[in-house]
Amino acid sequence: MNLINKKWCKNILVFVTFLIGLITIPSVQTFAGEGTPDWGYGGAANPTQWAELSHDFALCELGRDQSPINIVSAVKEKPTPIFFNYKPTPLVVVNNGHTLQVNYAPGSTITINGEKYTLLQFHFHTPSEHTIGGKAAAMELHLVHRNDAGQLSVVGIMMKEGAANRLINEIWKYIPAVGETKTVSRTINAATFLPKTKTYFSYPGSLTTPPCSEGVRWNVLVEPITVSKEEISIFQKLYQVNARPIQPVNGRVIELHSK
């Protein structure tokens, strides 16, 4: 088979995989995990190459509604508050090789426009994956939720350098080795992260990591929280950069929800 035919076959295979992805996304969203190709933020497995690593990652290149985005020109919509009902959970910290993640026990929820989502986990990126008006924050917190239909809703909180964050400081005390999980005999509450003002931007997007599945509702709070320079440095020693580049908006409407 000559080079042109090989390239043509490869393009057809990727396109077919993309179409299958559109059909199967998501009554149940999945994250890349065990058994998937190694991916990262630098070298040969960087975000520009994710779609080349596996057919399962085709949406990372071919998807139309990808995340993160630069949040700009938001349309002010009627107030649609997020009702947070976060409860204490045992502290379970996972160092999965891409970020630090805290798994959450069942029972904590958010409700948006009458739809309830259960908090599954939260994790961190540096610098922030989303930008607001072209400006990135030092870090970004993602609180990942899922409803009974398997649809995801993520709350993003910008983290700027400033005063120390007592919850971050507590979590950082129990950072496990890469690939390991540490369970601590104490509880935390993600409500501690929430800023006073709950005004937020929303838009339809995707996972920011492979397989880049779409159908994710994004809710990015306008008001940032603070973390100290030392707390940022501790995370960056583990993950110097773990943020996917900004993706095209492609005509999506970004809504602003405020009182």
Q: Is 148 helix (H, G, I), strand (E, B) or coil?
A: coil
- Could you confirm whether 98 is annotated as catalytic? yes
Report CA torsion sign: 114, 125, 96, 231: negative
- 224: closest CA among 130, 149, 154, 118? 130
Backbone φ and ψ of 206, nearest 5°: -145, 175
Residue 206: Cβ within 10 Å count: 27
Considering just the CA atoms, what is the radius of gyration of the chain in Å? Answer: 19
Give 69's Cβ-side CA count (13 Å radius). Answer: 25
109 in Cβ contact with 119 (< 8 Å): yes
55, 98, 123, 130: which one is catalytic?
98
**Active site residue ranges:** 98
